[in-house]
C-alpha cells in the first residue's frame, strides 16, 4: 500500500455553486392527483379554483332571529325556526315577523337580516318574542353567498404549498381532488466494512451504523417514502449491485461513507461508471468529500445520487444542505431552501481559514433584546454527534483566519423545532 491515492481529481467547489448544480439538475416534476383531504404537505401543480361559493347560501352569523329590514324594537310574531342542516320547508318572514335561526343556518325567504339573541327576550306569549333593539343595518349578521369565497375564485395557485389550512380550504370550496407534485422516493444505504447494525455485537474495529437510522428518520419526518438498503461492504461489486437495485426503485439514492480518498472508497468510482459525477468535493466544514451524481438509463426518468461523507455530523449537515433542497425542488417547491434567519453569537468562534463552517447551534428568541441568540453546541468534530444534539440551526460561518467575536450577527439555517 504505497501506490495509494494522494490527491483528489475533483475540483473543490464553493457550497453555493455545488447547491446550484444540484438544483439545476433537478427540474423534472411528476404530477399526481390526490384527494384534497390527503393533500397537506404537497405543492399544488395547478391553479385551483373554488367549485362552489362559500357560504353557498345566505347564512346567519349568530344565534338569533331572522327578520326583514327594517325592524323596530317591540313584541314580534314568531313564524317558525330555522336550524342548520338540510333545509326543508322554510318559514316565510314578512315585515314585523321573526323566525328563530341558529348560527350557520340559511336565511328563510323574506328575511335579509338577523337580530342576535342577546337583543331579545322571551315574551309572555310563546308565539311571540320581545325585540329590545331593532335592526341597525340591512344584512346585519348575515353572511352573503360567496362573501368568503366566490364561485370560481382562485384559491390556491400552482406552486403553492398546501398546508393543513389549504387542505381545509379546498374542501370548504367543494374541491375533491387536486393535482400536486409527487414527492421523490429515496433509497438509503451505508457503506463500510466497519459498520454493524444496532442489535448486533460489534467486533474489535467495528462500530454501529448511526448514519442510516439518522437519514431514514429525517426522511420519514419529511413524509418521504424510504427504501432501506442496509449496510453495504466496501467492495466495488457490492456497491455497484446495490446502486443498480436502488436506481431501479428510487428517484434519489442517498449513501453514506466511501467518498474519501481511501483505497476502499468506491462510491465515486462506481458512480463515474453508472452516470455523471457532477462534483466530488465541496469547500465546506464538515462535508468536504460530498459527491453528487445523476444517472439516466433507458426510458426511466433521471435519478439523483448524493454520496454523503461517513462521519455522522458531515452526513447530517450535508443532508440538510443538499438532500433536503433536492427533495423540495423535485417535490415542486418554488423555494427549495430551508428558512434562513439571522442570530447574534453568544460565543466567540474561531473561524476556519480554509472552509466555511456550518456550525451546529441552539437558536432562541430573546424577548428583551428582540433578536435571535445562537449558542454554540461546542466541539464541532465531524464525528461528534453530541455537537448536533439539541441543535436547531446551522450557523453559516465564513472562512477567514480570525475569531468571530461574541455579539456578531450571522445567518442561520433553521432546522426542526425542538
**Any long-range contacts for 206-211 (C-beta under 8 Å, 24+ apart)?**
210/312, 210/385, 211/256, 211/257, 211/308, 211/310, 211/312, 211/315
Identify the residue among 27, 298, 299, 418 touching a copy of itself (CB under 8 A): 418
* C-beta separation of 75 from 178 below 8 A: no
Q: Bridge partners of 344?
A: 373, 409
> By C-beta, is 21 or 385 nearer to a copy of itself?
385
Non-local (6+) Cβ contacts of 218 within 8 A are 316, 319
Q: By CB under 8 A, is residue 47 in contact with a copy of itself?
A: no
> By C-beta, is 295 or 380 nearer to a copy of itself?
380
Report d(CA 104, CA 91) in Å as an integer.
16
> By C-beta, is 370 or 402 nearer to a copy of itself?
370
Q: By CB under 8 A, is residue 133 in contact with a copy of itself?
A: no
Look at residues 286, 285, 280 and name the one whose alpha carbon lies nearest to residue 258.
Answer: 280
Q: By CB under 8 A, is residue 269 in contact with a copy of itself?
A: no
Identify the residue among 176, 236, 244, 405 touching a copy of itself (CB under 8 A): 176
| String of contacts with a copy of itself for each residue 6-25, x by CB under 8 A | xx------------------
Identify the residue among 21, 145, 174, 245 touching a copy of itself (CB under 8 A): 174
Q: How far is the CB of 216 from a copy of itself (least distance, A)?
A: 7
Q: How far is the CB of 401 from a copy of itself (least distance, A)?
A: 19
DSSP class of residue 407 equals: T
Site for a copy of itself in 104-123 (CB under 8 A): 104-106, 117-118, 120-123
Q: How far is the CB of 261 from a copy of itself (least distance, A)?
A: 5
Q: By CB under 8 A, is residue 216 in contact with a copy of itself?
A: yes
* Piece in contact with a copy of itself (CB under 8 A), picked from 17-25, 33-41, 182-190, 245-253: 33-41
Q: By CB under 8 A, is residue 137 in contact with a copy of itself?
A: no
Identify the residue among 11, 163, 230, 407 touching a copy of itself (CB under 8 A): 163
Identify the residue among 287, 310, 325, 332 touching a copy of itself (CB under 8 A): 310
Q: By CB under 8 A, is residue 353 in contact with a copy of itself?
A: no
Only one residue has cell 435571535, namely 372
Report d(CA 27, CA 9) in Å as an integer.
28
* Piece in contact with a copy of itself (CB under 8 A), picked from 20-28, 241-249, 294-302, 388-396: 388-396
Q: How far is the CB of 13 from a copy of itself (least distance, A)?
A: 19
Identify the residue among 389, 400, 405, 406 touching a copy of itself (CB under 8 A): 389
Total interface residues for a copy of itself by CB under 8 A: 114
DSSP 323-390: IHHHHHHHTT-SS-SPPEEEEEESS-EEPPSSS-EEEEEEEEEETTTTEEEEEE-S---TT-GGGTTT
Q: What share of the chain is helix, strand, coil (3-state, %, to 5)?
A: 20, 30, 50
> By C-beta, is 14 or 381 nearer to a copy of itself?
381
Q: By CB under 8 A, is residue 33 in contact with a copy of itself?
A: no
* Piece in contact with a copy of itself (CB under 8 A), picked from 296-304, 349-357, 376-384, 396-404: 376-384
Q: By CB under 8 A, is residue 234 in contact with a copy of itself?
A: yes
Report d(CA 246, CA 351) in Å as an integer.
39
Q: By CB under 8 A, is residue 279 in contact with a copy of itself?
A: no
Q: By CB under 8 A, is residue 27 in contact with a copy of itself?
A: no
Q: By CB under 8 A, is residue 416 in contact with a copy of itself?
A: yes
Cβ neighbour number for residue 255 with a 10 Å cutoff = 30
Q: By CB under 8 A, is residue 230 in contact with a copy of itself?
A: no
Instruction: Mark 66-89 as b/e (b = at least 16 C-beta within 10 Å).
Output: bbbbebeeeebebbbbbeeeeeee
Report d(CA 355, CA 13) in Å as an integer.
11
Phi, psi of 364, rounded to the nearest 5 degrees = -145, 140
Q: By CB under 8 A, is residue 141 in contact with a copy of itself?
A: no
Distance between start and end Cα atoms, the chain = 47
> By C-beta, is 30 or 172 nearer to a copy of itself?
172
* C-beta separation of 355 from 254 below 8 A: no
Amino acid at each position: 500500500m504505497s501506490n495509494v491515492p494522494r490527491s483528489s481529481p475533483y475540483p473543490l467547489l464553493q457550497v453555493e455553486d455545488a447547491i446550484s448544480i444540484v438544483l439545476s439538475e433537478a427540474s423534472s416534476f411528476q404530477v399526481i392527483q390526490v384527494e384534497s383531504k390527503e393533500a397537506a404537505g404537497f405543492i399544488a401543480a395547478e391553479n385551483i379554483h373554488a367549485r362552489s361559493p362559500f357560504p353557498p347560501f345566505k347564512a346567519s352569523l349568530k344565534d338569533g332571529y331572522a327578520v326583514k329590514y327594517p325592524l323596530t324594537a317591540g313584541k314580534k310574531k314568531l313564524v317558525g325556526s330555522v336550524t342548520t342542516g338540510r333545509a326543508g320547508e322554510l318559514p316565510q318572514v314578512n315585515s314585523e315577523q321573526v323566525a328563530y335561526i341558529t348560527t350557520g343556518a340559511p336565511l328563510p325567504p323574506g328575511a335579509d337580516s338577523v337580530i342576535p339573541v342577546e337583543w331579545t327576550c322571551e315574551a309572555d306569549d310563546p308565539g311571540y318574542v320581545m325585540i329590545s333593539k331593532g335592526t341597525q343595518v340591512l344584512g346585519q349578521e348575515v353572511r352573503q353567498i360567496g362573501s368568503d369565497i366566490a364561485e370560481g375564485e382562485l384559491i390556491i395557485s400552482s406552486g403553492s404549498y398546501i398546508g393543513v389550512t389549504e387542505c381545509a380550504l379546498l374542501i370548504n370550496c367543494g374541491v375533491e381532488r387536486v393535482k400536486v407534485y409527487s414527492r421523490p422516493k429515496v433509497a438509503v444505504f451505508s457503506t463500510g466494512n466497519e459498520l454493524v447494525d444496532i442489535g448486533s455485537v460489534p467486533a474489535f474495529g467495528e462500530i454501529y451504523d448511526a448514519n442510516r437510522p439518522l437519514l431514514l428518520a429525517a426522511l420519514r419526518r419529511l413524509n418521504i417514502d424510504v427504501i432501506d438498503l442496509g449496510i453495504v461492504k466496501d467492495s466495488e461489486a457490492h456497491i455497484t449491485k446495490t446502486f443498480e437495485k436502488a436506481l431501479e426503485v428510487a428517484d434519489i439514492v442517498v449513501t453514506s461513507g466511501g467518498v474519501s480518498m481511501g483505497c476502499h472508497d468506491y462510491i465515486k468510482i462506481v458512480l463515474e461508471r453508472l452516470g455523471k459525477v457532477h462534483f466530488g468535493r465541496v469547500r465546506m466544514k464538515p462535508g468536504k468529500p460530498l459527491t453528487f451524481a445523476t444517472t439516466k438509463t433507458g426510458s426511466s426518468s433521471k435519478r439523483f445520487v448524493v454520496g454523503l461523507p461517513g462521519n455522522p455530523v458531515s452526513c447530517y449537515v450535508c443532508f440538510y444542505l443538499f438532500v433536503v433542497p433536492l427533495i423540495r425542488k423535485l417535490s415542486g417547491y418554488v423555494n427549495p431552501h430551508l428558512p434562513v434567519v439571522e442570530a447574534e453569537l453568544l460565543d466567540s468562534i474561531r473561524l476556519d481559514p480554509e472552509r466555511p463552517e456550518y456550525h451546529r447551534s441552539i437558536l432562541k428568541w430573546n424577548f428583551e433584546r428582540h433578536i435571535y441568540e445562537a449558542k454554540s453546541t461546542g466541539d464541532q468534530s465531524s464525528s461528534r454527534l453530541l455537537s448536533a444534539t439539541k441543535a436547531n440551526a446551522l450557523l453559516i460561518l465564513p472562512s477567514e483566519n480570525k475569531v468571530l467575536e461574541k455579539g456578531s450577527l450571522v445567518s442561520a439555517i433553521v432546522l426542526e423545532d425542538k
